[in-house]
Chains A and B, each alone.
Chain A
Amino acid sequence: MLSTAPAVSTVPLVAVVRRLLNAILDDVWGAGLDLVAELTGVEMLASPFMQRAYFAAVCIAFIGPVVGSFLVHREMAMIGDTLAHSAFAGVAAGLFVNAAFAVTVPPLLTALVVAAVAALLVQTLVDYAGTYRDTSLAIVLTGSFAVGSVLVTATDGGIAVGIDAYLFGSLATVSRANAAILLASSGVVGVVVAAAYRPLLYVTFDTVGARAAGLAVARYNRMLAVLTAVVVVAAMQIMGVILVAAMLVIPVATATATAVTGFKRALVAAVAAGQFATLTGVTLSYLYDVAAGGAVVLVAITGYAAVNVAVAARRRIVTRR
């Protein structure tokens, strides 16, 4: 693609990014899975469609638990759900603009913008309304879904077809461009969380203490909300709007239920639990032709239940001794 498009070289940054993306998607990820397919004889691993789906699965199960670890223990899990619904309004706005004005704006881009704005709005509402966090979230959640549903129906149902894939998630939405968005989101989330790990952990554990330690807590809360928006939009493609919050919550809950001690180790365990859920779920979705998001969530919940049963059983054996 690059060699046949000399115009690209006039924009060096775009060219570099595109070459990097090609290298990661084709030369590393694609070639790696091709090799695995050849060695194991599992043919679906060699199809570019499934290669992209698995790529998305790996990215989603990385960013979801990494950000979710800082949300779940502050009872902020509902923020993910709220932002997913505002992302839905963003998708609807993108599809609406495309249908109405004959332009091509990627719906994920409008979703990201709308969700990020909603994230800041939610934090502002929480800052001012204080204890009425639930109410603030409910207003933004239902309000954005209302905007989305009005926009979807405003165009003779034409875009209602496209919206289904975003509502319930689909492997088919992982285009090459969307894989690039996922890769970029993973990079942003990874770098930001690594750089701000200590302030984020402090704020998560002890908000007042964090303020006494000189942290601008409100700023980190806003940052966390915007990161959540990034995760939700990136994960929405496979998970669907309605189920996307699961990737922020269930793997973290699973990791916490295990005997693992230490926040950092629990974070790694949550990513592992997430990977298990998305990779298994995507495979089941392909094999049995069922919704990817639903399959992933069911696998994740099964894992969560299994861990809890195992821990309880082990505790019973230990106490009996």
Chain B
Amino acid sequence: MTAIEARDVTFAYGERPVVEDVTLDVAEGAFLGLVGPNGSGKTTLLELLIGLRRPDAGSVTLFGDPAHRFDDGERIGYVPQNVTAANDGLPITVEEVVRMGRYPHRWIGRFDAEDRRAVRNALDRVDIADLADRRVGRLSGGQRQRVFIARALASEADLLALDEPTVGVDAESREAFYDLLRDLNDDGLTILLVEHDIGVVTTHATEVACLDRTLFFHGDPDTFVETDALAEAYGGSHGVVHHEH
């Protein structure tokens, strides 16, 4: 089954196209890493793929529906860019955020046993049950990442979209975080990851898409490392990094 089908997708802010003629399929169960230089349109493409933006030309199909009209909110888990800076002052607790994962199932009315079980399981799965009553704004970057992942798990999402999720997170937490993503992917969750760190993507993802306005490469990580797609996309100024763990 295909989770996402993008066909000749073009999107511009004003006059300047940031994504041009991108055709890309994401199979269910894939772990796709989206890489490219700064300003290459990675975030925009991610937003197009999960229907947060409507393409100027071309089409995106998300689980069989036009992505921009897709409103099955509980199927998409989203982890925003730079969560470490987000809303520090809001006195919201970890549990309140994870409960948001159930909101698309239940925008109004009391949570039932199923909702509470999903929240409890999500907190346990990413190992933050002991932080449930803490303010999110007072957690470390790594802990906050887990809160957002737990929110997606609580919604029982089929697709997890992450936009440079480890900016501002210490190295140790990052490793643990990507291991967690891989475990979740092994359990069948489809993952879209925008990353600036190419090593992370080639090590953890099952597919790589390399973008600089247009799509330079889409395939498995090993082939990606062997081709010169990276050099083309980055203008030849970057060496290929491949972490072995």
Does B127 sit at the interface, judged by CB under 8 A?
no
Interface residues of A in 166-219 (CB under 8 A from B): 195, 198-199, 201-202, 204-206, 208-209, 211-215
**B118 → chain A, closest Cβ, in Å?**
15
**B226 → chain A, closest Cβ, in Å?**
35
Does B97 sit at the interface, judged by CB under 8 A?
yes
**Given A209-B78, A212-B76, A214-B104, A262:B93 Cβ within 8 A:** yes
User: Would you give the 0/1 interface string for B96-123, flagging 1 where the beta carbon is closer than 8 Å to chain A?
Assistant: 1100100110111000000000000000
Does B85 sit at the interface, judged by CB under 8 A?
no
Which residues of the other chain, A, contact B103 by a CB distance below 8 angstroms? 198-199, 202, 213
**Given A201-B100, A202-B100, A214:B90 Cβ within 8 A:** no
Does A319 sit at the interface, judged by CB under 8 A?
no
Does B10 sit at the interface, judged by CB under 8 A?
no
Does B168 sit at the interface, judged by CB under 8 A?
no
Which residues of the other chain, A, contact B50 by a CB distance below 8 angstroms? 212
Binding stretch for chain B, among A14-22, A39-47, A56-64, A253-261: A253-261
B104 touches A213 (CB 8 A): yes
Does A314 sit at the interface, judged by CB under 8 A?
no
Which residues of the other chain, B, contact A261 by a CB distance below 8 angstroms? 91, 93, 133-135
Q: How far is the CA of A262 from the CA of B161 in the complex (A)?
A: 26
A214 touches B92 (CB 8 A): no
Which residues of the other chain, B, contact A266 by a CB distance below 8 angstroms? 91
- Cβ contact of B161, chosen from A199, A212, A260, cutoff 8 A: A212
Q: Please indicate which of the listed interface residues A212, A260, A263 has the most CB atoms of chain B within 10 Å of its own CB.
A: A212
Nearest-CB residue, chain A, relative to B78:
A212
**B241 → chain A, closest Cβ, in Å?**
29
**A256 → chain B, closest Cβ, in Å?**
5
**A252 → chain B, closest Cβ, in Å?**
10
**Given A214-B73, A262-B91, A205:B104 Cβ within 8 A:** no
**A101 → chain B, closest Cβ, in Å?**
45
Nearest-CB residue, chain B, relative to A269:
B91
**Given A198-B108, A262-B92, A213:B97 Cβ within 8 A:** no
Which residues of the other chain, B, contact A215 by a CB distance below 8 angstroms? 73
Which residues of the other chain, B, contact A213 by a CB distance below 8 angstroms? 73-74, 76, 78, 100, 103-104, 155
Q: How far is the CA of A117 from the CA of B154 in the complex (A)?
A: 39
Q: How far is the CA of A263 from the CA of B133 in the complex (A)?
A: 11
**Given A73-B89, A212-B52, A199:B80 Cβ within 8 A:** no
Q: How far is the CA of A73 from the CA of B96 in the complex (A)?
A: 16
Which residues of the other chain, A, contact B52 by a CB distance below 8 angstroms? 208, 211-212
A205 touches B92 (CB 8 A): yes
B91 touches A263 (CB 8 A): yes
Which residues of the other chain, B, contact A209 by a CB distance below 8 angstroms? 78, 80, 100, 148, 151
Q: How far is the CA of A76 from the CA of B94 in the complex (A)?
A: 24
Interface residues of A in 238-279 (CB under 8 A from B): 255-256, 260-266
Which residues of the other chain, B, contact A208 by a CB distance below 8 angstroms? 52, 78, 80
Q: How far is the CA of A271 from the CA of B140 in the complex (A)?
A: 30
A205 touches B91 (CB 8 A): no
User: Would you give the 0/1 interface string for B133-149, flagging 1 where the beta carbon is closer than 8 Å to chain A?
Assistant: 11100000000000010
**A129 → chain B, closest Cβ, in Å?**
13
B72 touches A263 (CB 8 A): no
Q: How far is the CA of A102 from the CA of B148 in the complex (A)?
A: 60
**A173 → chain B, closest Cβ, in Å?**
34
Does B12 sit at the interface, judged by CB under 8 A?
no
Q: How far is the CA of A74 from the CA of B151 in the complex (A)?
A: 21
Q: How far is the CA of A204 from the CA of B155 in the complex (A)?
A: 19
Does B237 sit at the interface, judged by CB under 8 A?
no
**B45 → chain A, closest Cβ, in Å?**
15
Which residues of the other chain, B, contact A256 by a CB distance below 8 angstroms? 89-91
**Given A198-B103, A212-B78, A215-B73, A205:B135 Cβ within 8 A:** no
A73 touches B80 (CB 8 A): no
Which residues of the other chain, A, contact B106 by a CB distance below 8 angstroms? 198
Does B71 sit at the interface, judged by CB under 8 A?
yes
Which residues of the other chain, B, contact A205 by a CB distance below 8 angstroms? 87, 90, 92, 97, 100
Which 9 pairs between the two chains have the least Cβ-Cβ distance? A214-B73, A212-B78, A213-B73, A266-B91, A214-B71, A73-B90, A263-B92, A198-B103, A209-B78
**Could you pull out 30 A-B pairs where Cβ atoms are within 8 angstroms?**
A198-B100, A198-B103, A198-B107, A199-B103, A201-B92, A201-B100, A202-B100, A205-B87, A205-B97, A205-B100, A206-B80, A206-B86, A208-B78, A208-B80, A209-B151, A212-B50, A212-B78, A213-B76, A213-B104, A214-B70, A214-B71, A214-B72, A214-B76, A260-B91, A261-B91, A261-B135, A262-B92, A262-B93, A262-B133, A263-B92
In the complex, besides A201-B100, A212-B73, 18 extra interface pairs with C-beta distance below 8 angstroms are A195-B108, A198-B106, A198-B108, A199-B107, A208-B52, A208-B78, A209-B100, A209-B151, A212-B52, A212-B77, A213-B74, A213-B76, A255-B91, A260-B91, A262-B91, A262-B133, A263-B91, A263-B93
